[in-house]
Amino acid sequence: TARIIDGKALSKRLREGFKQRVGKLVEQGLQPGLAVILVGDNPASRVYVGNKVKACEECGVRSFHIALPDDAAEAEVLATIARLNADPAVHGILIQLPLPPHIDNRNVLEAISVHKDVDGFHLYNVGGLVVGNTIFPPCTPYGVQLLLDTTGTDVAGKNVVVVGASNIVGKPMALMLLQREATVTICHAKTRDLAQHTILADILIVAAGKPGLIVSQMVKQGAIVIDVGINRLPDGKIVGDVDFEGVKEKASWITPVPGGVGPMTVTMLIENTLRSAERALHVRGSDDYQDWEAPVLKG
């Protein structure tokens, strides 16, 4: 049976390291800060924002929680972002998605300074991912990458199948693994005969939001299986997209839900925020882009 990839334990280890990095920044007079903007009161979003704020506090990162009403105008959201872009106490800005339908996602995401785009959703960071030099990799795929690393597997040349092609998980995940020279297949809702693809995967990453989508007959013996899905069943139980009990008998490694990818997403958000704060201080080695100036993308 498969070994468990423990996202909770890895998150805990990483967050211990974050505390030390925050300590060093504070010694130099810089308190790292993350601003989280929530528009409306989607209950799931409120939980996510709460988790992010809590994780910040735990690591010594100052958090700014900005709650706007459900009917806030797009201009008000943009003005809030402009204020945070200019605020030197803020190193990361995050807009909790989804936004109410009257607000254009792209307008809002593109308004965030690329220097503070810790979610990595600005087109500039998305483009950076395509050519292999992002400043801020998107948090969920970034967390998956670190989880994969803990298995000691070199992904180069491996067959990786990503199930799900969203802009926040599936597509960036595929690009990150392509950058590491995996042979990547992306499947999605229109894919015919999903099993025909998944059965070839040395590494199977599932982010579809469909409980029970992946059963053991679809998995290659010895595969590494990463389950990004988070689904709440009618009885309140949280499950992923993978039939854990069945698939764990075939996989070599598997992530549980909860306790796998979930905790890593928030952890990588803090990582990106610290990286941004370190860039602000020009801490050596914090990244390779210290002299890099963001271009003006929009008139």
Q: Does 185 participate in binding ligand NAD (rule CB under 6 A)?
A: no
Q: What are the C-alpha distances in Å from 233 to residues 68, 238, 262, 263? A: 30, 6, 17, 20
Could you say which of 38, 77, 203, 208 contacts ligand NAD (CB under 6 A)?
208
Residue with Cβ nearer ligand NAD (46 or 279): 46
Taking residue 296's Cβ as centre, other Cβ atoms within 10 Å add up to 6
Q: How far apart are CA 183 and CA 99, in angstroms?
A: 34
Min dist CB 22 to ligand NAD, Å, is 23
Asked if residue 137 has a cis previous peptide bond (ω within 30° of 0), the answer is no
Tell me the window of 9-17, 67-75, 128-136, 165-173 that interacts with ligand NAD (CB under 6 A): 165-173
Q: Which residue, 146, 184, 179, is CA-closest to 261?
A: 146
Among 229, 251, 273, 274, binds ligand NAD (CB under 6 A): 229
Active site residue 70: no
Q: Please indicate if the annotation marks 127 as binding a ligand.
A: no
Tell me if 267 contacts ligand NAD by CB under 6 A: no
By the rule CB under 6 A, 265 interacts with ligand NAD: yes
Q: How far is the CB of 234 from ligand NAD (least distance, A)?
A: 16
Based on the residue annotation, tell me whether 220 is a catalytic residue of this protein.
no
Q: In the bound complex, what is the minimum distance in angstroms from residue 258's beta carbon to ligand NAD?
A: 9
Annotated ligand binding at 166? The verdict is yes
The answer to whether residues 63 and 12 touch, using CB atoms and an 8 Å cutoff, is no
Determine the length of the chain. 299
Q: Cβ closer to ligand NAD: 191 or 286? A: 191
Determine if 128 is a binding residue for ligand NAD (CB under 6 A): no
- 8-19: burial string, b at 16+ Cβ within 10 Å, e else: eebbeebbeebe
* Residue 64 · residue 35 · CB < 8 Å: yes
Has 171 been annotated as catalytic?
no
Q: Does 261 bind ligand NAD (CB under 6 A)?
A: yes
Catalytic residue among 117, 119, 202, 243: 119
73 is annotated as contributing to ligand binding: no
**Residue with Cβ nearer ligand NAD (80 or 273):** 273
Q: Which of 85, 210, 212, 246 binds ligand NAD (CB under 6 A)?
A: 210
In the three-class reduction of DSSP (H, G, I as helix; E, B as strand; rest coil), residue 262 is classed as: helix
Least CB distance from residue 124 to ligand NAD, whole Å? 21
Burial of 259 (0-12, 13-18, 19+ CB in 10 A): middle
Transcribe 136-188 into DSSP letters.
Answer: S--HHHHHHHHHHHHTT---TT-EEEEE---TTTHHHHHHHHHHTT-EEEEE-
H/E run at residue 95: strand 92-95
Of 265, 248, 253, 234, nearest to 47 by C-alpha is 265
Residue 157 is labelled as binding a ligand? no
Tell the smallest beta-carbon distance from residue 54 to ligand NAD (Å).
Answer: 15
Query: For binding to ligand NAD (CB under 6 A), which residues are involved?
Result: 140, 163-166, 168-170, 187-189, 191, 194, 207-210, 213, 228-231, 261-262, 265
**Which residues line the annotated binding site for NADP(+)?**
164-166, 230
**Which residues line the annotated binding site?**
164-166, 230
Active site residues: 52, 96, 119
